[in-house]
Amino acid sequence: MSADALDKELADLAASARAGLLREIEASGAFDADPRWEEAFAAVPRHLFVPYYYVGGVGGHERCWGGSPDPRTRARWVRGAYEDVPLATRMRDGVLLSSSSQPSLMALMLAELRVEDGHRVLEIGAGTGYNAALLSYRLGDGHVTTVDLDPEITESARRHLQDAGYRPTVVTGDGARGVPERAPFDRIIATCTLTSIPRAWLAQCAPGALILAPLATGLIALTVRDAGHAEGHFLRTPAFFVPLRGSDRREPEPVALAGVPHRARESDLFHFLLALTRGILDPQEASALWEREGMPGRERYGITVGAEHAWAWLDEPEGPYAWPLPGSSGPGLVEV
């Protein structure tokens, strides 16, 4: 079989796999908040952004490479690129540094970002460049900025974007500091887990801007009033990302769950509360609150960033349950 025939076979496989992924994302309901994102996911080829990725196995991680001389390996690579799973794309000494997020979660986050034509978007965490490409398809290159701390990541993201025909602004820098030279932004979306909301982001937002970011295994959607004030609820869905590296990163200490009832220990919703109140409530206190309040889902929690303090809360910003975020001296828990 000729090289041209092989290329066509691979391209046909990629097109078929992309169509299958799109159907899967649609069925998940991820596009419900903004169905216009379907067109972007149909148009942007994910495989161009993951020329290789790592697949876990018995002996560690195996590198799946699109440039393999073996056509079966290349076919496996293409099919894997369009599975609705996160793909490990950069590892160092067995530690995951960067990944391509699960496409259905990306779709949900982009839909919940509620962008409009003309909006300027800052993405924190360039990753492979795939998310920036989706944003660029929807809004245009000139309206999208993506930033990452690692120059190797930004260089490869820039290359992938160019190969796919997109040229947003790609910046190497500390995402916690934002990109002030490109401000103001109407939307900020983070694809890495935070422990607190960087104040620099609020200062770089236009009034009424939206910040969507992973925090405490959830997704917080904050509406920005001005440089010193933002507030919003968590979305219902869970979200797990690699941590933001740079000035905002703090390594969490392991938490002992001795004395916590089995129902709480096994619940993702309890672990969300535990992550949100880390350092404020011990596990037994968190478990008692969680049981008493009816095992609340993520959507009942929110975050307020004030001029001097930032805090998380259950049900109401000024209600009986509020906890300062890390690095803030805000209000403590009012009632246990």
* Active-site annotation holds for 329: no
Point out the catalytic residue in the list 98, 99, 100, 101: 101
Distance of CA 175 to the CA centre of its chain: 13
Pairing of strands 121-124, 144-148: parallel
Helix/strand/coil for 127:
coil
Beta bridge partners of 57: 60
d(CA 327, CA 193): 16
Residue type present at position 31: F
Q: Rounded to the nearest 5°, which phi and psi values hold at 214?
A: -75, 135
Question: Can the peptide bond before residue 71 be classed as cis, meaning omega within 30 degrees of 0?
Answer: no
**CB burial of residue 78 (10 Å; 0-12, 13-18, 19+):** buried
**Catalytic positions, written as ranges:** 101
